[in-house]
Amino acid sequence: MNLRHGARGPRELLSQIDGPSILIADELTASVAAQLDWSRVQGFATDAGSRTYHTAILARSLKVPAIVGLHDASLRIAAGTPVILDGATGELVASPSPAQIDDAQRRAARPRRRPAPHAEAGPVATRDGVRIRLEANIELVEDLKFLSESGAEGVGLYRSEFMLSGRPLDNVSEDEQYAMYRSLVEQVAPQPVTIRTFDLDERQVTRDPSRPERRRTRPGLRGLRLGLANPAGLRTQLRALVRASAHGPLRIMFPFVSAVEEVRQARGLLREAEADLQAPGRIAVGAMIEVPSAAVAADLLAPEVDFFTIGTNDLIQYCLAVDRTDDRVSDLYEPLHPAVLRLIRLVRRAAGRHRIPVSLCGEMASDPALVGLLIGLGLTEFSMTPGAIPLVRQVVQDLDFAQARMLAGHVLRLATAAEIEQYLFDALAASAIQRSPLP
């Protein structure tokens, strides 16, 4: 791409590769991944990344086998080397033997496990009757077909920046956005859709093709901050959202909020759009809580918004100072760190005191081992990748809310992530024995 500066996008360049092939890269940004021809490129592996790396999240949406966080695969594997990539086990085998190829072909031919075509839908509750709401995180409108399969009660997070597919912001008109949001809202209605305004960083906006987009550098000008620094783009998006809200229940959520002033400014822009379009005040407005300052000051933010959504993917990385794209520190990325759990409790309490709903939409919610703890911390609304919903549903139905609260109360007194993990594991094993006692 650098050599052919400006001439072509990645889709066109990679179209000259003989397929089928596997892409191995030091880093693959979500905007490039969104443009690839996935019938030709059948999987990818990257040196960078972790489970919450945006490209990994996108791979799950696209159903493309992928492995991220391999540290040095792109240096160790020369172009043209035959490889076997198994996204389920996270194994990449370079120059496999004939026996390994036979085995991989046999495994690939087996039918894939997918959620039952008509997974149970509608409200779900714990054994003792506490209602838990499960919504879906969506990156691509095509994912909506998985919504009914998964039994989600709406879209809790639409990552709107994925609609740009690497295009500069000013290439996407208000009308194009309106048509997209309207179609999303109409397809999901009567269930609600929560649309997050563009969560981009400065490189994704300036699109300097001579520099790879690396979120790991200069992460500060991003999300709502970047939107407020370039208000023209945010205004256009807000106008499109206000227009789309006439067609079904739509909520707006601002990403990367770090202070009350930002929310006030953003709501000011929304009010202008609403006044201009003569559609005053029908949209609920939320703040994503994903920067530690927003979590610590959640009691001050709560009166300014209609709802909170905790974005643990970012909250964990900024709380623990661990860049989620940096494979070198990914072992320090720990959802069970006591500081992370305390922040979540702080946000839930602030929301409760101000009587606003709070949901959690990071990858943490989709981990069946963790969702019980989150419920014990008082959370009752989650949004996650649609494929994870059927299993989380089962976990919720098996769970006793009163016990989950006691468990969370104990966990919050433990000092290390390892102790917390062991305690959760023991509790899970004990409750499994209780549910199916030995004869």
Token pair, residue 385, equals 């990748």
The nearest distance, CB 134 to ligand PEP, in angstroms, is: 15
Q: b/e string for 145-181 if b means 16 or more Cβ within 10 A? A: ebbebbbbbbbbbbbbbbbbbbeebeebeeeebbebb
Residues 191/144, Cβ–Cβ less than 8 Å: no
Rounded least distance, CB 185 to ligand PEP, Å: 20
Q: What does 164 interact with, of Mg ion, ligand PEP, none (CB < 5 to 8 A by kind)?
A: none
| Residue 239 binding ligand PEP, by CB under 6 A | no
Among the residue ranges 40-48, 64-72, 296-304, 306-314, the one whose residues contact ligand PEP (CB under 6 A): 306-314
Q: How far is the CB of 160 from Mg ion (least distance, A)?
A: 13
38-74 burial code (b ≥16 CB/10 A, e <16): eebbebbbbbbbbbbbbbbbbbbbbebbbbbbbeebb
Handedness of CA 236, 238, 243, 247 (dihedral sign): positive
- 3-state secondary structure at position 264: helix
Catalytic residue among 71, 354, 361, 410, which? 361
Binding partner of residue 361 among ligand PEP, Mg ion, none, CB cut-off 5 to 8 Å per kind: ligand PEP
The CB-of-309 to ligand PEP minimum distance in angstroms stands at 8
Least Cβ distance, residue 137 to ligand PEP (angstroms): 7
Single out the residue of 201, 314, 363, 381 in contact with Mg ion (rule: CB under 5 A). Answer: 314
CB 37 within 8 A of CB 222: no
Rounded to whole angstroms, how far apart are CA atoms 368 and 191? 24
143 binds Mg ion (CB under 5 A): no
Q: Identify the residue among 153, 274, 314, 367 touching ligand PEP (CB under 6 A).
A: 314
319 in catalytic set: no
Tokens of 247: 């067609």
Q: At what angle do helices 174-188 and 231-244 cross, to 10 degrees?
A: 40
245, two tokens: 């809200």
The size of the interface with ligand PEP (CB under 6 A), counted in residues, is 11
Using CB under 6 A as the binding rule, the residues of this chain from 174 to 203 that contact ligand PEP are 199
Q: Which of 49, 156, 311, 335 binds Mg ion (CB under 5 A)?
A: 311
Q: Is 143 in the site for ligand PEP (CB under 6 A)?
A: no
- Backbone phi, then psi, for 93, in 5-degree steps? -110, 120
Beta bridge mates, 93: 84
Segments in 377-413 forming alpha helices (H) = 389-398, 401-411
**361 in catalytic set:** yes
Name which of 50 and 177 has its Cβ closer to ligand PEP.
50
Within 274-293, the residues that bind ligand PEP by CB under 6 A are 290
- Of 357, 342, 214, nearest to 285 by C-alpha is 357
CB of 95 to Mg ion, least distance (A): 38
Name the residue nearer to ligand PEP (CB basis): 149 or 314. Answer: 314
Q: Residue 157 or residue 322: which is nearer to ligand PEP going by CB? A: 157
Please report whether residue 151 would count as binding ligand PEP according to CB under 6 A. Answer: no
> Where in the sequence numbering do the catalytic residues fall?
54, 361
Give the binding site for ligand PEP (CB under 6 A): 52, 157, 159, 199, 290, 311-314, 361-362
